[in-house]
Amino acid sequence: MTHSRYASSRRAFLAQAGALGIATGIGTGIGTGICGGIGARPAWAASDGVLSRAIPKTGERLPVIGMGTWITFNVGNDTALRAGRAKVLETFFERGGGMVDSSPMYGSSEAVIGHCLGRLADKGSLFSATKVWTPFKWLGVRQMEESERLWGTRRFDLMQVHNLLDWDAHLETLQAWKAEGRIRYTGVTTSHGSRHEEMAEIMTGQPIDFVQFTYNILDREAEDRLLPLAAERGLGVIVNRPFQGGALFDRFAQHPLPGWAAEIDCANWAQLFLKFAVSHPAVTCAIPATSRVDHMRENMGACYGRLPDAAMRARMIRHVESL
């Protein structure tokens, strides 16, 4: 895909983006606490045209496509595999990606992210997000400090409580760290449609900035309660498992891409699935994971061009459910 292809549809996209509350171009406020130099970006990778959404609490803009790292970045010390993941991350930044999401639960992923970031001159618009995942408050502090060391950062953009584990204790720490300027945003996560009631209680009662949960073209439970509540409470929404862990490709990729996919600038199934997820008005970004540069190129294509409106979203659902 080329940048010019998207430039040609920019006018149509802008008209639609206005209606959806989406904007092109990444704001300058995306902070990175990551150490290291920033180099020049390739000319074709200019941020103009990148679809972004405002973080509700601050208005800071985030590209609608981020990157997950569960399994895909858990490659240990293997030199060749680490070099391959550095290429994936480089491609992500070149094409305007923003949030990188990880967790101490993801094996060596945080160490591999730190290794890759250390090799990249251009960390693009990195928005660093990880999690705390332990039943002990004191161990949570140690764990977050270890994550800082592994990533090579003095300040994460976002720290989330993974799978709501001991969330009340960890949120106390996160509020204190935010007040001290050690993190910029706080959040909680769940996945696979589980514990939505408890998540809703936290969203209603706690001063958090982001929530993360599963939302994709087949798994749409979040539409009932969590997505409307996030919009009402002014919370950023991060979509995990936008490909249902890859199962959407197993189920649908053998079918031809419908002709109308071109109307929303989708050249492949990956872009169709991602544009479905990020076109919900309450969603801030999706974090698909991949171990492959060619897949990253496909996925980042969803960060450009037109997004589906409500009628097109309904058509997308009808189509996949008919296959």
Ligand X SMILES: NC(=O)c1ccc[n+]([C@@H]2O[C@H](COP(=O)([O-])OP(=O)(O)OC[C@H]3O[C@@H](n4cnc5c(N)ncnc54)[C@H](OP(=O)(O)O)[C@@H]3O)[C@@H](O)[C@H]2O)c1
x-or-dash string of contact with ligand X, 252-281, rule CB under 6 A: ------------------x-----------
Which residue number, 24 or 290, has a Cβ lying nearer to ligand X? 290
Q: What is the DSSP letter of 121?
A: S
288 in contact with ligand X (CB under 6 A): yes
* Minimum CB distance to ligand X smaller for 168 or for 250: 250
Cβ proximity of 259 and 230 under 8 Å: no
Structure tokens at 10: 């920019």
DSSP reduced 3-state for 199:
helix
- Other CB atoms closer than 10 Å to residue 257's CB: what's the count? 15
Residue 82 binds to ligand X (criterion: CB under 6 A):
no
- Chain position whose Cβ is nearest to ligand X: 68
Size of the site for ligand X (CB under 6 A): 29
Contact between 245 and ligand X per CB under 6 A: yes
Give me 142's structure tokens: 């140690």
Contact range with ligand X by CB under 6 A, out of 34-42, 116-124, 238-246, 302-310: 238-246
CA-CA distance, 323 to 321, in Å (whole number)?
A: 6
CB 173 within 8 A of CB 141: yes
Kindly tell me which residue out of 16, 147, 190, 284 binds ligand X, with binding defined by CB under 6 A.
190
User: Under rule CB under 6 A, which residues in 149-188 are in contact with ligand X?
Assistant: 162-163
- Residue located via tokens 């001991």: 166
Phi, psi of 305 (to 5 degrees): 85, -165
Which residue number, 47 or 214, has a Cβ lying nearer to ligand X?
Answer: 214
C-alpha angle with apex 102: 82 to 198, nearest 5 degrees? Answer: 160
Stretch of residues binding ligand X (CB under 6 A), selected from 11-19, 36-44, 291-299, 313-321: 291-299
Residues 323, 320: Cα–Cα separation, whole Å: 5
DSSP structure class, residue 257: P
- Choose, by CB under 6 A, the member of 108, 175, 206, 244 that binds ligand X: 244
Instruction: Say if CB 127 and CB 62 are below 8 A apart.
Output: yes
* Binding window for ligand X (CB under 6 A); candidates: 18-26, 49-57, 171-179, 244-252: 244-252
Binding residue for ligand X, selected from 74, 147, 186, 290, defined by CB under 6 A: 290
**Interacting residues toward ligand X by CB under 6 A:** 68-70, 72, 101, 162-163, 189-191, 212, 240-246, 249, 270, 287-292, 295, 298-299
